[in-house]
Structure 1
Amino acid sequence: MTGAAAGQLSSWRRRRHLLVRSTGEVLITLGVLALLMVIYQVFYTNFEADRRQDAIKGDLRESWAQQVVAGAPVKGDAIGIIYIERLGRSWEKPLVEGVGLKQLARGVGHFPRSAQPGQVGNFAVAGHRATQGEPFAYLDRVLAGDRVVVETRSQWFVYTIDPQPGAQPGDPAYKLVDPSYGEVVLPVPEQPGVRPTERRITLVTCNPRWGSSTRLILYGTLAATYQKPGPPPPELNYTRT
């Protein structure tokens, strides 16, 4: 090989090495950025959402204590507090009007056209399963017979989670439906045009936890109502924050 040819080969090898190194550095940088994005989505948004929701609960309780009269709720307004013991010994989240992204970042959202807490019909709510506080991260762990307690300005409502039709002991209480299946929030879930006579609750979240190919649904029925002022209902037998 001539000196010129050897020089060209050496130069080509140097360029190839530089290209490989540069490509590797770019991939490493992209990987670091992706990791930072995941950390932001998983941890920081949860931290910020938890802090925001604690403030919302505090403001709501203060308004109740001061007997501030509220008008008809608009999107984003806090209308109550929801408790689900199965999700944690101190699990409690603000209940806000609306189910858009902004509202769900503030807590568990109420479908505006569904019944209000305790009313005849279907009181339907939704929550994030991942990021933004992820209140329904483990909603799939809720069992038939578990209690969902909803606190409003003047009352407490205790709902009992229903088993799925034909369910056997140990079967999940939830069902999975297509994301477009809006019939779950009808006045009588999944029964278009039927007039409601019961006081129901429907809880909705995405499934799987880090995806949204289906919706996870839980149904419940009102079991008890307690007036305020007065002690919390006996069904709320765990530590409140």
Structure 2
Amino acid sequence: MPVVVHGQAPARRPLTRLLWYAAEAVLTLGLVLLLLVAHQLWWTNRQARAAAEKKADSLEREWKEKAGEGAARARGSSGEGGAVRDRGTPRGAPGTPPPPHIPTRGAPAGPPTQHAYAVLRIPRLGLRVPVADGVSKGGVLNKGYVGHYPRTARPGRPGNFALAGHRNTHGEPFRHLDRLRPGDRMTVGTRDAVYTYTVDKTLDRTSPRDGGVIAPVPRSAVRPGHGYDRAGYYVTLTTCTPAYTSKYRLVVWGKLTAMRPR
């Protein structure tokens, strides 16, 4: 019976091995990039959005509790037998300052803290998000918060209350900012009051360096004719555009139309 001798398989050529290793490396790199994209577009959104919602809940719960305590103190300030204690000069009398939640010209802006101090609600977008001082990514925006530009007006005060937020990733609170139209309303709630702003104008695209849009009297320094020419009570919302880029800025302007004390 003949004996069959099996020879060894021919060794792969160096070029073939190199191509094989290169293909493996490309596949591995592709999987890593896919995971990074999933992390940025899904996981960071989920984490930041959940944390922002939790913070908004915490702020509103704290304000509600303080309002209840204030009401209890007010009820306890009356004397026994129904006699009302003397409270001094009534609020609003000549020469007395307005309460802190009333817009006051020249009121101090306060130091930036990067702590959330307000809650922005935009019904058309189904948005409820905390507002914090500053527009740094690590300290504010990447937490899913909306950032309050330094040296711009406080909520409800004269001037321009200017805000920035991510359009994509990290909670993306301003993802659908382009859907806002004149007449849409938004509210900014603080410890002392709820301020209602009404959308008035939009600027679909401008330069990231267009500082005029967040000036006290907001007016684009890049797109002539866009903005305002007189002092008022404004809000400005800014975000990147087009989506998934940071080449330009989208701007929405509104005016203060109502204020309700807590």
Q: TM-score range by the shorter chain?
A: 0.7 to 0.9
* 2-structure distance, mates of 1:19, 1:96: 53
Quote the residue 1:201 is aligned against.
Answer: 235
Shift of 1:64: 1.6
Given that 2:53 and 2:128 are in contact with CA atoms closer than 8 Å, whether structure 1 keeps it comes out as: no
Given that 2:210 and 2:220 are in contact with CA atoms closer than 8 Å, whether structure 1 keeps it comes out as: no
Local SS of the residue matching 1:162: strand
* 1-structure distance, mates of 2:58, 2:47: 17
Within 5 A, what are the aligned runs for 1:103-114? 103-106=140-143, 107-114=145-152
* 2-structure distance, mates of 1:42, 1:65: 35
Q: Which residues of structure 2 form unaligned runs of 5+?
A: 1-8, 68-109, 222-227
Local SS of the residue matching 1:201: strand
Given that 2:186 and 2:196 are in contact with CA atoms closer than 8 Å, whether structure 1 keeps it comes out as: yes
Quote the residue 2:58 is aligned against.
Answer: 59
Shift of 1:13: 6.1
* 1-structure distance, mates of 2:155, 2:241: 25
Given that 1:206 and 1:212 are in contact with CA atoms closer than 8 Å, whether structure 2 keeps it comes out as: yes
Shift of 1:197: 3.2
Within 5 A, what are the aligned runs for 1:1-150? 14-67=13-66, 72=110, 74-88=112-126, 91-101=127-137, 102-106=139-143, 107-150=145-188
* Alignment RMSD: 2.3
* 2-structure distance, mates of 1:180, 1:152: 30
Q: What are the Cα deviations for residues 38-93 of structure 1, in whole angstroms up to 9, with x where unaligned?
A: 0000111111101211221122123323439xxx56332111100111212xx200
Quote the residue 1:176 is aligned against.
Answer: 205
Shift of 1:145: 1.1
Shift of 1:195: 9.4
Q: What are the Cα deviations for residues 133-154 of structure 1, in whole angstroms up to 9, with x where unaligned?
A: 0000111111111111111112
* 1-structure distance, mates of 2:112, 2:61: 19
Alpha carbons of 1:181 and 1:211: their partners in 2 closer, same or farther (altered >3 Å)?
same
Given that 1:121 and 1:199 are in contact with CA atoms closer than 8 Å, whether structure 2 keeps it comes out as: yes
TM-score after normalising by structure 2: 0.72
Counting aligned pairs with the same residue, the percent is 37
Flag as ranges the 4+ runs of structure 1 deviating above 3 A: 10-13, 194-197
Q: Which amino acid aligns with 2:185?
A: R
* 1-structure distance, mates of 2:253, 2:11: 68
Q: Which amino acid aligns with 2:170?
A: Q
Q: Which amino acid aligns with 1:207?
A: T
* 2-structure distance, mates of 1:44, 1:190: 37
Given that 1:184 and 1:202 are in contact with CA atoms closer than 8 Å, whether structure 2 keeps it comes out as: yes
* 1-structure distance, mates of 2:161, 2:32: 41
Q: Which amino acid aligns with 1:162?
A: D
Alpha carbons of 1:179 and 1:111: their partners in 2 closer, same or farther (altered >3 Å)?
same
Say whether 1:224 aligns with 2:261: no
Q: Which residues of structure 1 form unaligned runs of 5+?
A: 1-9, 164-172, 229-241
Say whether 1:156 aligns with 2:194: yes
Shift of 1:208: 1.2
Given that 2:56 and 2:128 are in contact with CA atoms closer than 8 Å, whether structure 1 keeps it comes out as: no
